[in-house]
Amino acid sequence: MIAEQTSTAYAPFGLVTRAAELDLETHTVHTAIGELRVQTGRRDRTDETATLMLHGAAGSWTTFTPLLQAVELRGDSTLDNLVIPDIPGWGASPFPTDAAHFTVDHVTRAIAAALRGLGYERWRVVGHSFGATLALHLAAIEPRATVGLTLVSPTTFGVFDAVRHPSAALTTLPAFVGMRQAMQMLDWHERAGRAVVRGLGRVGFMRGLASPLFRHPGFIDGSVYDAIAEEVRPHAFTLASDAAGMYPAQSLWPRVTCPVTAIKGRHDVFLARDDLARLAAVVPQLKARTIDDTGHFAHVERPFAVLDVLAPAASSR
């Protein structure tokens, strides 16, 4: 009964910041572009397929903890063999020493190397926002190892266009254009920029600044806004946007051979209206799902609905 009541609630969980509370273990994996901090857990030795979870810009591994709490509350085994890295430049994973290595390809290959270093040769991927771009690239360059993708609010073609032509995107994705301009301004002095954002968070302004990301910002737990304030990294966000703007999706994503499910919140301000249709035209085997009354963070706002999408993929392994 508790599970049923909670599953219908909006944003039922806050973020968990201590890995041990979710029985996760923290690892530091050395890769070609630097150290990668990774959380692992729920190892099932009968199935050596990893569940890789890739967060978006202005996030860390903790953004997936509402989804993990939903799994625990249901008491099921939908998500096993968890591997949840902090993408380089966010969380506890340092920005690459060589900025030339901060590309979609370099970062994705480092993550694949980390997976193999942890003993996995196959994986299914849950990618949020920018993490969805990384997930698609991983599937394109590792088609045999990637068995399935679930993309949550995949910031793809609309954002790519907005980076290339920001003036034109003022009418299609004004929230993204505004955020990118703000990040570019703060990137002039990274340390001062991050200090400004953290200061705004401490005095309560982050709830207002980040409110466009959520359908009902007043119901989002304060820990989510605290995490956004902590993980806004102007330099990493700016370079990630630049990398997305140069990414050759049209030539690479037709190579994706695994089943793909793309989830969009009906009120997501970071996805253009035709994003999922354009994605379906390029990515084979893509199915699109829309979750009502939800913004850009479906795994935070509607974790049980996302879990319902993940369950069939897990059972088909």
HEC string of the chain equals: CHHHHHHCCCCCCCCCCCHHHHCCEEEEEEECCEEEEEEEECCCCCCCEEEEEECCCCCCHHHHHHHHHHHHHHCCCCCCCEEEECCCCCCCCCCCCCHHHCCHHHHHHHHHHHHHHCCCCEEEEEEECHHHHHHHHHHHHCCCCEEEEEEECCCCHHHHHHHHCCCHHHCCCHHHHHHHHHHHHHHHHHHHHHHHHHHHHHCCCHHHHCHHHCCCHHHCCHHHHHHHHHHCCHHHHHHHHHHHHCCCHHHHHHHCCCCEEEEEECCCCCCCCCHHHHHHHHCCCEEEEEECCCCCCHHHHCHHHHHHHHHHHHHCC
Instruction: Provide the percentage of residues in the chain whose pLDDT is more than 70.
Output: 88
In this predicted structure, the answer to whether residue 2 has a pLDDT above a threshold of 90 is no
**Residue 313 confidence (pLDDT):** 59
pLDDT, tens only, 165-194? 888 888 888 888 877 777 777 666 655 555
**Residue 212 confidence (pLDDT):** 85
**Residue 129 confidence (pLDDT):** 94
**Residue 139 confidence (pLDDT):** 98
pLDDT, tens only, 141-173? 999 999 999 999 999 999 999 999 888 888 888
**Residue 292 confidence (pLDDT):** 95
**Residue 65 confidence (pLDDT):** 97
Range 249-272 average pLDDT: 95
In this predicted structure, the answer to whether residue 311 has a pLDDT above a threshold of 80 is no
Range 90-101 average pLDDT: 90
**Residue 235 confidence (pLDDT):** 80
In this predicted structure, the answer to whether residue 196 has a pLDDT above a threshold of 70 is no
**Residue 312 confidence (pLDDT):** 63
**Residue 203 confidence (pLDDT):** 43
**Residue 315 confidence (pLDDT):** 52
**Residue 202 confidence (pLDDT):** 52
pLDDT, tens only, 104-148? 999 999 999 999 999 999 999 999 999 999 999 999 999 999 999
**Residue 126 confidence (pLDDT):** 98
Mean pLDDT of the chain: 87
In this predicted structure, the answer to whether residue 207 has a pLDDT above a threshold of 70 is no
pLDDT, tens only, 19-54? 999 999 999 999 999 999 999 998 887 788 999 999
Range 272-280 average pLDDT: 94
**Residue 1 confidence (pLDDT):** 37
Is pLDDT larger for residue 240 or for residue 138?
Answer: 138
pLDDT, tens only, 80-89? 999 999 999 9
